[in-house]
Amino acid sequence: MKEKVGDVFSIAKDNNPVPGCTISREVYSGTNSITYFSLAAGTDISAEIYSSYKLILVADGSMEVYGREGFIRELNAGGAIVTLTDTPMGMRTQKGVVYTEILIQKEDIMNNTIKAGEVFQLAEVVPYQAGRIVNMDVVHNDKMKFVVMSFDKGTGLSEHAAPGEAIVFALDGEGIIGYEGKEHKIKAGENFHFAKGGRHFVKASEKFKMALLLTLD
């Protein structure tokens, strides 16, 4: 992935929109490509037909995903949607937006609680449970997994090596990521990148939710 390794960063802050412009930056070019988009206020990516789904995760700002016959879905920071396939889908914003787009193939396995064309909040996909870690695979295949996890205060994952590269999306609360012997505080709205083979752990200093996008190419 074309992203900094081993330190907390922010997709929202690192990809500020440029007035009058739409900007895309591909950070992973595998089958399930990952691209950051920043759209300035009043800009539009016109509706086009795609044979694959797109999982859109809004980091900052607001946007509309639109299509035919009055299809309009509004997303704000923390919102997500899986776009429809084989019908025109476009993106537009009045105030500006930064989002991540993950390409999802039709044969990928998607959790049946997630419906294409319906807006959902990543932080609400899984609940907190006392003394437990709760996780849900949103979508996966042999080369990729996107999972949402909740950690009750004091719970965590012991140190292990990443089988592939991964990006963490902190969704709620605050946690600690240990990476190659150094601890990093991370809070909602921030991100972290593990390199393949990077030794890491996760601890919940408070209640903490995160999404993890793992690639195995």
* One domain for residues 24 and 74: yes
CATH of the domain at 211: 2.60.120.10
* One domain for residues 139 and 107: no
Q: Average pLDDT, stretch 97-113?
A: 96
Q: Is residue 1 part of a domain?
A: no
* One domain for residues 180 and 94: no
CB atoms within 10 A of CB 34: 23
Query: What confidence score (pLDDT) does residue 163 get?
Result: 87
Q: Is residue 143 part of a domain?
A: yes
What is the maximum span of the chain, computed from C-alpha positions, in angstroms?
Answer: 54
Q: How many domains does the chain have?
A: 2
217 has a pLDDT exceeding 80: no
* One domain for residues 208 and 152: yes
Q: Average pLDDT, stretch 126-133?
A: 97
Q: Is residue 3 part of a domain?
A: no
Q: Is residue 91 part of a domain?
A: yes
Tens-place pLDDT, residues 138-177: 999 999 999 999 999 999 999 999 889 999 999 999 999 9
Strand duo 97-104 + 109-110: pairing: unpaired
Q: Is residue 101 part of a domain?
A: yes
- What residue numbers bound the domain in which 88 lies? 11-121
* One domain for residues 176 and 89: no
Strands in 34-132 per DSSP E: 34-39, 44-49, 53-66, 72-76, 79-82, 88-92, 97-104, 109-110, 120-121
